[in-house]
Every structure is written in C-alpha cells, then in structure tokens.
Amino acid sequence: MVSTHTFRVETRGRTDIVDITARVAEAVRGTGTAVVFVGGSTAGITTVEFEPGLVRDLKEAWERVAPEGKDYHHHATWGDDNGSAHVRAALLGPSLSVPFVEGRLLLGTWQQIVLVDFDTRARSREIVVQVHAG
C-alpha cells in the first residue's frame, strides 16, 4: 500500500537547516519505506546529527563548496542572485529513503532528517512523504 502525506515548513533561506524528523514520523505506520521529498531546485533533504555545532559546520562547508558571493552564470540567465542555492541543492539532492518497522523510523541514535533550504530568501516549502508499507 502506498500513501502520500504533505506538510509545509517555513524557512529563513541562506542554508537554513530544519529538523523535520517528527513530522516525517507522523506519516509512518506498520513496516516499510518512507520517501521524503522537497519540490523545488534550491532545497534538499538529508540526515545529520542536528546540533548547533554541526549545523554551523555544514553551513561553513556549503559556503566553501559553492560560495554565495560568487558570480554564477544562472544570475545572468535569469537576473537572480541564487546560483549558489541551485548548485548546492543539486549536490545534496531533493529526497531521502528511510526504512521503518512497526511505525518507527530506523534512524541512528544521533540521526535526524533535515530540510536544507539554500535559497537567498525565506520560503514556504512543501515536503512530501510517500509511504510504502506492507
């Protein structure tokens, strides 16, 4: 059986990292796999140990990989300022698969599911959780 659930997350942009684990957990029942997906080309989904030091480390790492202040070809194409957001999101990816058993996500002890919004402005993001349960 497949079921689809959605919820919205308000973000601040600029590599805002938001823990969405509890919201994803609300969607799972029984045993199966949950696919967590964010639409759009300037955000991604991953897992981390969600604590202030690592959040800061991740933001600094993304700045080294695809700096915000750099001049991206995307800026010339569309007159935008978010070329770094597109590059970062493409590298991270928009989705994640998580197994669950008896309604419990099989995450590691220090592992949380997070939305990372790289855009250069605040956004309202729709998260899709598609549950495949047996």
pLDDT tens-place string over residues 109-120? 999 999 999 999
Q: What percent of the chain has pLDDT over 70?
A: 100
Q: How far is CA 23 from CA 6, 17, 66, 130, in A?
A: 9, 15, 29, 13
Stronger pLDDT, 99 or 78, i.e. the higher one: 99
- Predicted pLDDT at 96: 98
Show the tokens assigned to 23. 């919201």
pLDDT, tens only, 9-23? 999 999 999 999 999
pTM for this model (two decimals): 0.97
What would the mean pLDDT of 91-97 be, rounded to a whole number?
98
Homologous superfamily of 2-133: YjbQ-like (2.60.120.460)
Please give the pLDDT value at position 10: 98
Segment 32-82, tens digit of pLDDT: 999 999 999 999 999 999 999 999 999 999 999 999 989 999 999 989 999
Q: DSSP readout, 23-92?
A: HHHTT--SSEEEEEEE-SSSEEEEEE--SHHHHHHHHHHHHHHS-TTS--HHHHHHS-S-HHHHHHHHHH
Contact 18, 115 (CB under 8 A): yes
User: Strand pairing partners for 131?
Assistant: 3, 34
User: Residue 134 has what pLDDT?
Assistant: 82
Read off the amino acid at residue 76: A
| Structure confidence at residue 73 (pLDDT) | 95
